[in-house]
Every structure is written in structure tokens, then in C-alpha cells.
Structure 1
Amino acid sequence: MDANTPDAVPPPGCPAHATGRIPLYGPDFAADPHAYYDYARRYGPTAPVELAPGVDAHLVTDYATALRLLHDNAVFRKDARRWRAFDEGLVPPDSPVVPLLAYRPNAMFSDGAEHLRLRQAITDAMGRVDTARLARSTEQISDYLISQFASRGSADLMADYAKQLPLFVFNELFGCPADIGDRILFGISGMFDGINAERAAEVLFGAVGELVALKRARRGDDVTSWLMAHEAGLTDEEMVYQLSLILGAGVDPLRNLVGNTLHRVLVHDEYARQGGLIDEALEDTLWENPPVPNFAPHYPATDVEFAGQKFQEGELVLVSFAAANNSPALTAARQSGSNRSHLAWSAGPHACPSKDSARQITMAAVENLLNRIPDIEAAVPEDSLTWRPGPFTRGLTALPARFTPVAAPGRADAPGRASSVERSEQPGTARKGGGTGRWSQFLKWLTG
């Protein structure tokens, strides 16, 4: 087969037959991305795609090829300043994919010694997170969110639960006082939801900058302080960019992972019939419906032939974790629920440094919800659910659920013991404007 002329008809709504590139956006792609990946495989291990109107890239869809690329940091670089099409003005500056692809001085967009320095600081700081503390704070936050809808008998598990829980957990881990935490929540939500994204980004970076200044003056038992104290000696600017990277890269994918796992449990009866195998549901989700389906932007350092395709220096090359995980040969070989060799966390030197924490948070969030509301079920047919558009995220827009109304869970703290969340409310960080944001409301609920 000619690698440039696949012999199958493109999926419905796919204009690849007109442009020669497969669009990874729009409602048709969001509704059935695997139909697009199946079509893309007909080009070979890589395929020409369009990430948004006017933004071209190559997409790796083969598992073995993806691993080769992700581990080859000599040929494929991460520094987005190498992106030739962007530098030449061929990419619309207001494209919705530019904010996640444009260069910033953080670990994701660095190579070599600089990457090692920034990456080690992040890995060491995140490695200090105590699993017992994380479990406790996740349960507290889960209980609080459930308390807001438990008596109603219905909820949108995305808006009311999966979207909010990661934001709250990360706020606690990073030691945010209420007023800064409220603005971080606003900034991240706005950026990923595309609502006043430019203003939301300003709010996020401004709030993170204030958090850095606060921790310079008074450090605490939190990721921000640990990162600041690291031997890498990060400047304030480096702190802001690394913290924003961790928060942004952690919160939205975790939202999708919690939501996608809940979706899998609620619409596939076999998990309930087998005794509520949430860990298996989580692994199946990571294999078949990963929260970040396509990403890992790389740029060839020179003209190169790779996987039978010629790439020019500075061309944008992405990995489809979703397509690679579900390639026919790999799907036939993997053992459901026991094999964790999927690429949902990426691989190589830029693999996710927080996968263990993300797994723990997701398991705790799903288990606690099902324990508190055991008869919860999907409120609408599966085929009526809609998914967020775009190439980089895989998550539902809503997940309506119904259940028998129950009493709202109380606070999870042991009597007489201050929670780790309470301890993040340090002296001298009073809530501005009375504390009316979501983080402030949670702290008020937690402390009674």
C-alpha cells in the first residue's frame, strides 16, 4: 500500500480526502476518535494530521514506533522554539492549540542538562508527597463535594465531582491559602474550558507568582516549598513556570481520568458484577480511553527518515497514546487489568512524573463515591453523552447520574486533629473579600 494513499474511505465528517490530512478536532472526531485512528493507521506508523485549522503535524499511531520516538532524545527534541511552521508564521497565532504547544521555560519544553535539572526538581518534590496524607485529603475533598449533591438524588458527575476534585486536591498539595487557591481554580478552569482563556492565564500566572512570593517568606509542608528548597536552586520565574506546568498538566488530565473511569464503571455492568473492580476499570480506561489521547510534541533536530517517513527539521510530530494503546497487535496481546505497559503516562525521559499520585487520587475518588452512594447509575443512555472536542483531551462534557438521596457525608477528620488542608491556611494569608470562592467554601465546611 502507498503510505500516502490509504485505500479506505475516511470516517464520516473527515475531510482528509480533500486536504490529505486527518482532522483531530470537531464533533465527529470527538464522538468517535478511534474511527479516525483506524483510518490513520492505513498511512503506516505515522499519519499526516491537522490539529486545528491551519496547524499541521505528523501523528505516531504505532506502539513500537511511539516508544522509539519517546526514547530518542538525540533525534527528536522537545524545545518548541524549533517549531518551524510557527516561527515562519504559518500557524494562526490565535489557534486554540497554540497555548499548549508554544514554548515556555519549563521541563516539558527543555532538553539535555536543563531538562534534567528541572525534571529532577519536580520529581523530587512530588516524590515527597505522603500517600497517607494524600489519601486523607482526597477523601475529605470527595466527602465535601458529595455533600453538595447527596440529598438531591442526582448529579452531573463531571461538573459536580470529577472537574472539581483534582483542583481541590492540588490546591491542598501545593499549600494554597484560600484567596490564592480560588484564583488558581479560576485560572486553570478558564484556560482548559476556553472561557476568557487569555484573562484566565493571567490570573493563573499571577496567583502562582503570589504563591511563590508567599512561600519565599514562609515555607510550609507542601510541594511548592519542597520545590523551592530543591538543590536545583530555581528562580522565582522558574518556580512559576514549573508550578504552572505541574498544575496544568495534572489537573485537567486527572479530571478526565476520574470522569472516564466513572463513565466506564457506570456504563459497563461487568465491573459491578465482578465485585466492583475499580482498579481494573481504571487500567482499562488508561488503555482504551486515556485522558490525554494525543500529545508529546517533538521536533526533529535535523532532516531524518523515521519509521519509513521523511521528516524535515522542525516539523511537529506528536504521539497518539490512544491509537498506540489500541493498535490491533497490541490489543490482542495485552491482558486486561493486569498489564500496565500502556502509554497513557507517556514514556521515556518526559514521562509523567506524578502517575502514582494520579492513580491514587483516581482510585480514592471513585471508591469513595461508590461507597457513599452505592446505587448510583447513569441517568441517560451512553449514546447521548458528548465528549470535549480537540486533539489533546479526552473527557466528557457531562455525566448525568441518579441515585437514592442519602445524607450528606460529614467531615472526615479525626476529633482533635487538624487536617493537612487546615494547616495550609497559614497566618497572614487571610481570605480576601470574605472568601466566597470554592476553595474558601471547602475550608469553611472542613473546619466547621
Structure 2
Amino acid sequence: MTTPQSAAARCPAAHTAAASPTHPLPIYGPEFSADPHTTYNMLRAQGAIAPVEIAPGVWGYLTTTYRSALYLLRNTPNRFAKNPRHWQALVNGQVPPDSPALIMMQPRDNALWMDGTEHARLRHAITSSLERVDTHALATTVTKIADQLINAFTTAGVCDLAVQYADPLPMLTMIEVFGSSPDIGQRITTAIARLFDTDQDAAAANIDLEAACLALTHLKRRAPEPDVTSWLIEAGLTDEEMVQTILLVIGAATTPISNLIMNSIQRIITNPRFAGNVHEGVQPVSDALDEVLWTDPPVSNYSPLYALGHQTFEGLAIQPGYPILVSFAAANGDPTLGIAPGSYAGNRGHLSFSAGVHACPAPDLARIISETAIERALDRLPHLALATSQPIRRPGTFHSGFTSLPVSFQPAKALARTGR
């Protein structure tokens, strides 16, 4: 539990300008997850960067406008650091050990949490490896995996698209992209599932996951192939760096892409503007994807940063030592942008893939996986419709997506098609 301390010592609101709220608003819990934009609007009314309670007993700031989000991202690392060792409560042992914020924000030895030359070196290894991925082969791989998953439930007429399709698809795709053998791939999949299962021992699952990634590294050192693991090894990464980099890339490509697939399918089948047109080929899936990236980004609040010394932005004082989450959802929904509803297609000015030196290293690959998965579901599941009026959403502090999305469709015989 947290060390007892005064509210002023715990809460950044006590140190900020007078325009800040007296108490930080929580960005967790069922009420926030059900309607996060109400909270974003309340925070935005207080300023471009506002104090929040990220999780019980975990205090920080949240950007609330497009300008503030872009300012922080573009001024990393000269004004704002990525390394969580600048998080004073973490250094002091004041973050609850079971806090979901700790799981998402604790330091790890990979590019995401580093600054300067070490970040540049590790990021270059990632970007140069991902640039070598054959995009046509990737689309074929996604189609094959999508068909295998759909074949398992296509005759039933009902399924949970989150559990049976969108969640496993990115993971299975990444296992192939990394050139994993079936047995190691199964170990990675099982360990990740255990890691996010609250009934399991997360520490033991993390050990198993790292061991599986190390086994994959050793396999590719012995027998390199044209895959991302082998290319990362070519970039000169050590075994420890390989383990942490594999974890980083697979983690970044799984839940966020699952969210993007689900958010887009839900938008297409419930919004008449898409439901009637995408199936007829008038309005492409890419347009729906653009709208979702603007209005319901798969990663809603993340990229924690730390002020290097006392900073100000638009008159708001920002104290060092507290995490500042970048709200991609609040930035994209900033009313001062003046983007008219229905005009998102083709507009890639959103921040859903972040910006600056820590921006997503492969947004085009993420779009290929998402678009191919969405198109395959629409092709293979005719008359797709929600089977519930209240699909279950993920906790909204960091992610925006569904943990369950029951749907119905016209049953059909399983088809072992592999072409698009």
C-alpha cells in the first residue's frame, strides 16, 4: 500500500496553478470507462494539462488538448523524459505493488522506456527490422489466420468476436512474423494469457514469457531465417535486449490492434453510414478505420512522460516527479480542431499512433493487419450484427476496446479458403 502522506504531498493538484482543480479526477473505474469523454471535457475545462488519479493512490497529469499532447511528444527527451525512474512515487516505493498503473508504467529495459542514444539504438533495430517485413506476405498471413479462426465458429451463427477472433489474431500473426516455431509460439501465447489473467501468478507468467522469448532468440541465432527475430539479431542486440524487444513489439501489436479491429467492426455494423456502404464496396474499410482512429483510438491514454525540472504550458505549472499521460483520445476529440463529423476519411492527422521520437514504428503494418482482419470478417460472416445491446468494454484508463463482443451472423459451412 502507499506510504501515508498528506494530500499535498501526494497530489499534483496541490502544486499547480490556481486554475487547476482542487482534487484530481479519476481516470479509472466503471463510470470513467463507460463515458471517458465526460471526464476529458471536465479536465479540459481546467486546462491543457490537468491533474488526475491514474489508479487508486497513483497521481499524475493528463494532457487534455491536441496542442498539449503534441507539445509533450515533440519535446521528448529535451524537456520531458520517458524513463520511469523519474517517477518519484515509484522511487520512494509509494506505488501499490498490485496497481494496474505499475504493470503498465514500470521501467523495462527496452526502447519504449529509454531516452537518448540507447533509445535511438534500440529503436533503430526495431524500425529497420520491421521495414523488411513483406507487406503482401503479411496480408496473406493475416488472411490465413483469419480463415482458420472463422472456420472454428462459422457454422454456429454466433460467436464472441473479441475472444474468438480479434484477440488471438494479432498474437498469432506476430508469432509468424517473428518466425517462431509452433511449440515456442504456444509458450508465448500461454504465458501472455496467464500474464493478463488476474487469477494467475503474474510474476511466474512473466518468467515463462521471457524464457520463451529467449528460446526463440537462441533458435534464430542457430538457424536464422527471413523473419523479424533474425533481423533483430542482425542488428546486434544481446540476448537480454532481444527478450525485452520481442516482448515490446509483440505487446504493442496485440491488444492495441485487437482494440482497433473490434472498435472498427462495432462501428461498421452499428452505424448506418457504414453498415450499408462497406458491404457494397462504396465506402472502404479504410474510411471506417480512419474514423475510429480519430474518435475511438485503441490506446486512449498512455506514453507516460516526466518533466525535467519545473515546466509550464499555457500558464499551467507542471511539477517534476509525476507521470504525465498523453491522452490520445482527448487530443483527437479536442473541439478546437474543428473537424466535422463524417470528414475523417483520409485524414491521418490524428495522434493514435503517437508522434515524436517514440511514435509507433510501424503504423502501416498495424493498418494492414487491422484492415485485412476486418475485411475478412465482413466477407466471411454475412449479416453480421451485435448480439447484445451492451458489449463489455475493457477498463478505459489505458485502452479503449472490448473484452467481449457477441455477434450473430448467417451460419455457413466452414470454408478453408486461403485467398482474399
Structure 1 length-normalised TM:
0.86
Q: Is residue 397 of structure 1 aligned with residue 393 of structure 2?
A: no
Q: Aligned runs of 1:362-381 on 2, under 5 Å?
A: 362-381=370-389
Residue 263 (1) aligns with residue 269 (2): no
State whether residues 83 and 113 of structure 2, in contact with CA within 8 Å, keep that contact through their aligned partners in structure 1: yes
Aligned-partner SS, 2:344? coil
Secondary structure of 1:292's match?
coil
C-alpha deviation, 1:333, in angstroms: 5.7
Equivalent-residue separation in structure 2 for 1:235 and 1:157 (angstroms): 38
- CA 1:348 to 1:315, structure 2 compared with 1: closer, same or farther past 3 Å? same
Which deviates more, 259-268 or 144-153? 259-268
Counterpart of 1:26? Answer: 29
Aligned-partner Cα distance in 1 for 2:297–2:110: 24
SS of 2:393's partner is: coil
**Is residue 2:348 matched to residue 1:344?**
no
Give the count of matched residue pairs.
397
Name the counterpart of 1:243.
246
Distance in 1, Cα, partners of 2:198 & 2:258: 16
Per-residue deviation at 1:94? 2.0
CA distance in structure 1 between the partners assigned to 2:188 and 2:402 by the alignment: 22
Shift of 1:374: 2.2
SS at structure 2 position matched to 1:66? helix
What is the rounded CA distance, in whole Å, between the counterparts of 2:26 and 2:187 in structure 1? 34
Aligned match of 1:313 in 317, 320, 323? 320
| 1:224-279 deviation line (CA, Å, top 9, x unaligned) | 0011101xx21110111111100111111111111111111111121122344311
Q: State the secondary structure of the residue aligned to 2:339.
A: helix
1:62-109 C-alpha deviation (Å, 9 max, x unpaired)? 101111110102010111111111101221122122122111111011
What SS class does the counterpart of residue 332 from structure 1 fall into?
Answer: coil
**d(CA) in 1 for partners of 2:290, 2:62:** 24
Q: Given the alignment of the two structures, is residue 353 of structure 1 paired with residue 369 of structure 2, yes or no? A: no
> Partners in 1 of 2:27 and 2:227 — Cα distance?
38
**Which AA in structure 2 matches 1:26?**
G
The residue number in structure 2 matching 1:173 is 177
Show CA shifts across 1:124-157 (max 9, x none). Answer: 0011110111010000000000000000011110
* 1:164-313 correspondence runs (5 A): 164-196=168-200, 197-230=202-235, 233-276=236-279, 277=283, 278-313=285-320
**Distance in 1 of aligned mates of 2:312 and 2:177:** 44
CA-atom RMSD in angstroms: 1.7
Q: Which amino acid aligns with 1:409?
A: L
TM-score normalized with structure 2 length:
0.91
Closer, same or farther in 2 for the Cα pair 1:219/1:359, shift >3 Å?
A: same
Aligned to 1:145: 149
CA distance in 2, matches of 1:38, 1:263: 24
SS at match of 2:148: helix
1:110 lines up with 2:114 in the alignment: yes
Contact kept in structure 2, 1:58 and 1:318, CA below 8 Å:
yes
2:9 corresponds to 1:3: no
**Conserved 8 A contact 1:192-1:252:** no
* Whole-Å separation in 1 of the counterparts to 2:47 and 2:74: 20
Residue from 47, 68, 73 that aligns with 2:71: 68
TM superposition shift of 1:47: 1.1
**Aligned equivalents of 1:404 and 1:177: distance in 2?**
35
User: What displacement does 1:22 show?
Assistant: 1.1
Q: Is this contact kept in 2: 1:299–1:316, CA < 8 A?
A: yes
Q: How far off its partner does 1:331 sit?
A: 4.3
Instruction: Report the equivalent of 2:50.
Output: 47
Aligned-partner Cα distance in 1 for 2:206–2:176: 20
- Mapped pair 1:97 → 2:104: no
Provide the residue aligned with 2:329 in structure 1.
Answer: 322
Separation of aligned partners in 1, 2:419 and 2:232 = 28
- Which amino acid in the other structure matches residue 300 of structure 1? A
Structure 1 pair 193/266, CA: closer, same or farther in 2 (3 Å)?
Answer: farther
2:365 partner letter:
S
Q: Which amino acid aligns with 2:162?
A: M
Q: Cα–Cα, structure 1 residues 262 and 275, in superposed 2: closer, same or farther, change >3 Å?
A: closer
Structure 2 counterpart of 1:3, one-letter code: A
User: 1:413: how far off?
Assistant: 6.9
Q: Deviations over 1:347-396 (max 9, x none)?
A: 00100012111101110001011111221111122xx2221114111111
1:137 and 1:151 mapped to 2: Cα distance?
A: 23
Contact 2:157 2:411 in 1 (8 A): yes
**Counterpart in the other structure of 1:85:** 89
Find the residue that maps to 1:337 and give its secondary structure: coil
Q: Deviations over 1:275-294 (max 9, x none)?
A: 44311111111111111000
Residue in structure 2 matched with residue 431 of structure 1 by the alignment: none
